[in-house]
């Protein structure tokens, strides 16, 4: 049995938990983040390190912060960060629709407070 770097193992476990939270196979997740399924398996087991490029793709797709993936840190405004990371992947046209949608919800939930 090889002695893998403990940090790589922890990072791999967090990436696996992210993938599983989306009920996604290794095959599908690796396709989305543009790496091979074998390489993703090696990352998840802590056998290999991921590149900055791959980390960015996971962050952009999942909405989980790099701090969480690398260090396990979850901040108070983590949901806001996750939402922001997801929103950053959309075009301006799609963001206009999302804004209108959020604005309607905001008006609905704040109407009784005024």
d(CA 78, CA 86): 12
pLDDT at residue 54, rounded to an integer: 96
DSSP state of 113: G
Q: Can you read off the two tokens belonging to residue 34?
A: 């543009």
pLDDT at residue 78, rounded to an integer: 67
d(CA 104, CA 108): 6
pLDDT at residue 1, rounded to an integer: 41
Q: What is the pLDDT along the chain (114 residues), one digit of tens a residue?
A: 455 688 999 999 999 999 998 899 999 999 999 999 999 999 999 999 999 999 999 998 888 888 889 998 766 556 777 787 788 788 899 999 999 999 998 888 887 665
Indicate whether this model's pTM tops 0.75. Answer: no
Write down all domains in the chain, each with its CATH number in brackets: 6-113 (1.10.260.40)
Q: Can you read off the two tokens belonging to residue 26?
A: 């290794």
pLDDT at residue 4, rounded to an integer: 63
CB 26 within 8 A of CB 41: yes
């Amino acid at each position: 049995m090889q002695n893998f770097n403990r940090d790589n193992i922890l990072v791999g476990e967090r990436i696996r938990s992210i993938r599983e939270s989306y009920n996604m196979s290794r095959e599908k997740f690796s396709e989305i983040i543009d790496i091979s399924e074998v390489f993703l398996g090696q990352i998840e087991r802590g056998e290999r390190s991921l590149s900055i490029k791959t980390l960015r793709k996971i962050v952009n797709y999942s909405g989980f912060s790099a701090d969480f993936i690398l260090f396990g840190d979850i901040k108070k405004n983590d949901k806001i960060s996750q939402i922001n990371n997801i929103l950053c992947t959309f075009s301006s046209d799609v963001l206009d629709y999302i804004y209108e949608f959020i604005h309607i919800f905001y008006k609905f939930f704040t109407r009784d407070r005024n």
